[in-house]
């Protein structure tokens, strides 16, 4: 197995997906190390968790946002960036520098209900209003457009007649906590390959 991958995580809120990755690393199930937690929200719970678990944190400087952020990430010899509930657009230069090395998790079956404005409960309300019978979560590589990068893996849930946006959100979050660490683990083991311009996870 290759050396441990250095992982930088972006989060804006509770950081539950960040925590799910951390827990799998602590169990030595993921061959990586979280070297930094970046947030645009100094009061978010993800920052509190990081500080309590000796993970370095970085609050974005709005004045020198792009330049300082890229310098910080590159200084850590970052192998992988994970967007775990991060609500700001990533600067273009970072996206280009980390092409196919930046993951995002989205609470729908992309390309459905993705793009600008589709985040949080907006996604689940749209799924209900559409009359769809299934929804789910998607992990994809990040490109220059919101929720548009190559899809790596998806998991589905059934939408029941008595479901609402809140109940769907809770069930999808549970599968996110399994799906995202699964893909991070595959990346850290160099098991994401490309076939016909699409990423493919190979088995061990």
* Catalytic center residues: 106
Q: Report the C-alpha gap between 153 and 202 in whole angstroms.
A: 12
Residues 61, 66, 72: CA angle, nearest 5 degrees: 75
Let me know: does 139 contact 153? Beta carbons within 8 Å: yes
Q: How far is CA 97 from CA 27, 68, 82, 135, in A?
A: 30, 14, 14, 32
By the 10 Å C-beta count (0-12 exposed, 13-18 middle, 19+ buried), 147 is classed as: buried
**Helix, coil or strand: residue 139:** strand
Question: DSSP strand E in 73-173: where?
Answer: 80-83, 102-106, 134-141, 151-158
Q: Report the C-alpha gap between 106 and 155 in whole angstroms.
A: 11
Q: Report the C-alpha gap between 119 and 129 in whole angstroms.
A: 15
């Amino acid at each position: 197995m290759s050396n441990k991958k250095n992982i930088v995580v972006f989060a804006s809120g509770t950081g539950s997906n960040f925590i799910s990755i951390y827990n799998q690393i602590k169990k030595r199930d993921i061959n990586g190390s979280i070297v930094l937690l970046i947030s645009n929200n100094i009061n978010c719970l993800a920052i509190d968790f990081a500080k309590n678990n000796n993970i370095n944190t970085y609050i974005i400087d709005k004045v020198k946002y792009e330049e300082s952020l890229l310098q910080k990430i590159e200084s850590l010899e970052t192998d992988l960036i994970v967007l775990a509930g991060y609500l700001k657009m990533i600067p273009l230069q970072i996206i280009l520098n980390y092409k196919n090395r930046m993951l995002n998790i989205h609470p729908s079956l992309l390309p459905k209900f993705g793009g600008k404005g589709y985040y949080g409960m907006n996604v689940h309300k749209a799924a209900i209003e559409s009359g769809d019978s299934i929804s789910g979560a998607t992990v994809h590589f990040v490109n220059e457009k919101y929720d548009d990068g190559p899809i790596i893996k998806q998991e589905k849930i059934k939408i029941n007649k008595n479901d609402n946006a809140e109940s769907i959100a809770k069930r999808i979050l549970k599968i996110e906590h399994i799906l995202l660490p699964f893909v991070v683990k595959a990346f850290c083991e160099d098991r994401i390959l490309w076939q016909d311009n699409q990423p493919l996870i190979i088995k061990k």
